[in-house]
Structure 1
């Protein structure tokens, strides 16, 4: 049975991704900063007939928590087939370049960028043991530098200095990680789930978590001929899937 770790998986897009991958036969390690919340989420999926889901305490901003999660999962398996770096925060709005505090940048980057680095590096050894390892970093079309520079883009005036900057940094990390793993079976991609109605945006999004979960799960399930080092947004470009950085 293949295994996957999903960070921030006790609710929203991470939870739905866990559901969809469990349906595909994966054993899902459901990462949750609060273990009790993770256990409730796992119990809900188990009640739906998906027994291969278990909660793991994992705070991506805490190095010791990441190490403890790695040790716990390492006691259960010697192989991790996939990692979905989903945990993220927005940092609140508005986020003007002239007014956003350094503390806001630090908090958001600590989760959205440094958290991804912590988790990825901690679990890379288990991923290397998989025959077809996959890493999906949950990105955002709202962090496309190309689109944000285009006055014709429909979201051109929806600027934010903090959250989009963190996701743009995550995209760069994805490019470099994919490059370093280019001669291996890894497939590493940044995937935009779309503007999804979740707690992250006070449910202002126009897409559903089911759609978002499908988009992320697709790149966990991608074959050896699938893309790597790409920025995927099927909401923005449903035909080719790729979006400009």
Structure 2
């Protein structure tokens, strides 16, 4: 029971990233280490967390696309792998579907719970009560995101890995396949929404330049980013208005 409570608190602490800013507390490399610390196996927590980090390395919110709920997936995958004495393959086998399933629960909470606080915040805003708006912001995040994820981790670990596997096995295969496919499409959808907002005739050519460098020259993304920064610096310097130095002469010089 105590271990389940501590893991639930770890999940809630990782969700504090939204409160503290982009501190990356939610990444598996962090939650895996904290999970290993709770279970008394820091080394395994670090190894499993790093493995899950590679699996979820592209799981970032881009545009309107929301990635799988990596906090619960990483914590539970790491915890079940450590307690069963298994390796990273177990952490991946359990972590990925748990993250996809937790995302559904998280979205449901944000649809049905968060609007209650948002509408209350609107009423405070009409009255000019800034402290009330801030209070609804904090409470809405806690009850719609922080607390549900903590409860998911707490109850899941309390039930045990065998119970979680049974629950996952009950879900029809076509639903699991659909979740897997949609999870893979979310980053592409996010990029598409982001490109739609920022792309125009002036910058579209750079997008296709990066695509061509990647496809035809096999340059990795890091290399393309470096070339992009260099090109941006060159273009900024070329487009700077010419600075003309005006040298003012003394009145006494006119006498000569």
Alignment TM class, shorter chain as reference: under 0.3
Computing the radius of gyration from Cα coordinates, the structure with the larger value is 2
Bigger helix share? 2
TM-score (norm 1): 0.25
